[in-house]
């Protein structure tokens, strides 16, 4: 089966047929950088990271563009609040975005353009729209004339007359229609600005993505993506201005990920339940967060709770425990073979070909992990285990898991748990040493008493005939 993608434009799954055979051109809307990244940003970024990884796994040459909106009302407002230069603020939060996403093992996009680096391209596109009578200038502002595009609403399936009837749009005498949207904004006092044919100003939000995608992917490309909240008005407006300016279809497939809820409530500033990635990573291993995010189909809403993230952590522990067992039998050299997949990987491909169904793919990975544990119990030959090891790491690579060795994973997890629990490592090591002495002297009651004390501290010992070899926090 070929890759099937649910296309928001037609509200159905369609076979993926790239514009250029063997190549994938994809644009995903990146963040507006005025604050740290939250769990919603992470979900969208992980979704498209997995899609890129899977296309590469299947042999496609992928050009992936993810932008930064680094000039915007929100950035200017936040910079004024903090008394900071808006460009410095934006660059600071771009660095913070990379720190957070690097921690989640998200690969950098092929190209990561900033809106402020493409002002000339934006101005050229606006000029083209004015020349073709799709846009108009009034007192230094430029607006797209929505009535001029008869297909407006085809992505969101909204009809303009119905939107007008229920609209709560502030009256603006500059606009010919209440839903006309800004392509260029006249500069206000003390705001960043660029010179343009219409005076000093800055671009509107929607035109930035149209100009940047065209610069790197051409006027038509394969996939445009983002969160469901961007379908209207952002992506709808991108389609209108791009197809009017270039007289051709914009993106062939539109892919949108679902929302993240927090304890079954929509994440919102009014509820104060925004969950920042860097705060979450203080108490959760980054691969736990990643496994939680790929554990649901990308189009479904996902609910974050203490229980759901704890379950993800327990599941990841089981996977890494299996990998640690496996690597005692078969050394993994870090090279993945894609030529002879196992039956398990063929089922994984079927799941991923069905609109990138990571939830089903993750289930197949767990099935394979269970089979490997059983085979290890049976002491099967190395030759039986090698292809299974290859393919479980291959699945992990597509999902962005298993980025470190089992040993490093458990060391990192232990450090997090120690930090959270406030346990004194020196005290733990001293108790373990006392217990070792007691066992050597065959003082079993004292050894048992120390073990009980350690157990009450949630310390798990790994005992072997020659002594305690390791310990971790439960």
State pLDDT tens for residues 120-157: 999 999 999 999 999 999 999 999 999 999 999 999 99
Give the CA distances from residue 128 to residues 115, 123, 125, 377, in Å, rounded to whole numbers and listed in that order.
19, 9, 5, 68
Angle at 197 between CA 194 and CA 202, to 5 degrees: 30
State the pLDDT at residue 272.
76
Give the DSSP H or E segment for 135.
strand 135-138
Averaged pLDDT of the chain:
93
Q: What whole-number distance in Å separates Cα of residue 401 and Cα of residue 290?
A: 7
DSSP 202-226: EE-HHHHHHHHHHHHH-SSEEEEEE
* 412: CB partners within 8 A, 6+ apart: 285, 404
State the pLDDT at residue 430.
83
State the pLDDT at residue 160.
80
* 34: CB partners within 8 A, 6+ apart: 72, 74, 75, 77, 78, 79, 89, 90, 93
Cβ density class 419-446: b for 16+ within 10 Å, e for less = eeeeeeeeebeebbeebeebbeeeeeee
How many residues are present in the chain?
Answer: 474
- Strand bridging mode 221-227 / 23-28: parallel
Q: Quick one: DSSP state of residue 473? A: E
Question: The tokens of 324 are what?
Answer: 């640690």
User: Are the C-beta atoms of residues 241 and 210 closer than 8 Å to each other?
Assistant: yes
Q: What whole-number distance in Å separates Cα of residue 223 and Cα of residue 122?
A: 21
In the chain, which stretches have pLDDT less than 70? 164-171, 464, 466, 468-469
Q: What whole-number distance in Å separates Cα of residue 118 and Cα of residue 30?
A: 15
State the pLDDT at residue 466.
67
State the pLDDT at residue 457.
81
Span between the terminal Cα atoms of the chain, in Å: 44
User: Are the C-beta atoms of residues 254 and 12 closer than 8 Å to each other?
Assistant: no
State the pLDDT at residue 167.
53
Angle at 451 between CA 447 and CA 459, to 5 degrees: 150
Q: Quick one: DSSP state of residue 69? A: B
User: Are the C-beta atoms of residues 414 and 473 closer than 8 Å to each other?
Assistant: yes
Give the distance from CA 359 to its chain's centroid: 15
Half-sphere exposure of 210 (CA within 13 A, CB side): 28
Give the distance from CA 329 to its chain's centroid: 34
Cβ density class 127-159: b for 16+ within 10 Å, e for less = bebbeeebbbbeeebbbbbbebbeebbebbeee
State the pLDDT at residue 333.
77
């Amino acid at each position: 089966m070929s890759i099937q993608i649910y296309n928001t434009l037609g509200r159905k799954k369609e076979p993926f047929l790239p514009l250029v055979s063997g190549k994938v051109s994809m644009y995903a809307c990146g963040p507006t950088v005025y604050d740290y990244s939250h769990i919603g940003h992470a979900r969208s970024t992980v979704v498209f990271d997995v899609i890129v990884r899977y296309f590469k796994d299947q042999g496609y040459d992928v050009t992936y563009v993810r932008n930064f909106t680094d000039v915007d009302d929100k950035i200017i407002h936040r910079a004024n609040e903090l008394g900071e230069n808006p460009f410095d603020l934006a660059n600071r939060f771009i660095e913070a975005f990379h720190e957070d996403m690097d921690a989640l093992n998200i690969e950098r996009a092929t190209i990561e353009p900033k809106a402020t680096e493409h002002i000339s391209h934006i101005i050229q596109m606006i000029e083209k729209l004015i020349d073709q009578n799709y846009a108009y200038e009034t007192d230094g502002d430029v607006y797209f004339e929505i009535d001029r595009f008869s297909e407006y609403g085809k992505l969101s399936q909204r009809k303009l007359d119905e939107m007008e009837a229920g609209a709560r749009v502030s009256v603006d005498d500059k606009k010919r229609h209440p839903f006309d949207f800004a392509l260029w904004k006249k500069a206000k006092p003390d705001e960043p600005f660029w010179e343009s044919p219409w005076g000093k100003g800055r671009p509107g939000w929607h035109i930035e993505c149209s100009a940047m995608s065209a610069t790197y992917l051409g006027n038509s490309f394969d996939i445009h993506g983002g969160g469901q909240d961007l379908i209207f008005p952002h992506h709808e407006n991108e389609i209108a201005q791009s197809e009017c300016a270039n007289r051709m279809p914009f993106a062939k497939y539109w892919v949108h990920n679902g929302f993240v809820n927090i304890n079954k409530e929509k994440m919102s500033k009014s509820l104060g339940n925004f969950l920042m990635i860097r705060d979450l990573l203080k108490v959760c291993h980054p691969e736990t967060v990643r496994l939680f995010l790929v554990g649901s189909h990308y189009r479904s809403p996902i609910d974050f709770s203490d229980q759901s993230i704890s379950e993800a952590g327990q599941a990841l522990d089981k996977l890494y425990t299996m990998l640690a067992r496996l690597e005692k039998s078969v050394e993994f050299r870090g090279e993945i073979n894609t030529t002879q997949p196992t039956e398990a990987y063929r089922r994984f491909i079927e799941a991923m070909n069905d609109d990138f169904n990571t939830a089903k793919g993750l289930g197949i990975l767990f099935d394979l992990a269970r089979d490997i544990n059983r085979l290890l119990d049976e002491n099967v030959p190395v030759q039986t285990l090698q292809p299974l090891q290859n393919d479980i790491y291959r699945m992990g690579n597509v999902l962005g898991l298993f980025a470190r060795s089992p040993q490093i994973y458990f060391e990192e997890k232990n450090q997090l748990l120690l930090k959270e629990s406030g346990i004194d490592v020196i005290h733990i090591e001293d108790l373990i040493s006392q217990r070792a002495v007691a066992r050597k002297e065959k003082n079993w009651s004292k050894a048992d008493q120390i073990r009980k004390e350690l157990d009450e501290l949630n310390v798990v010992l790994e005992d072997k005939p020659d002594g305690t070899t390791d310990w971790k926090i439960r």
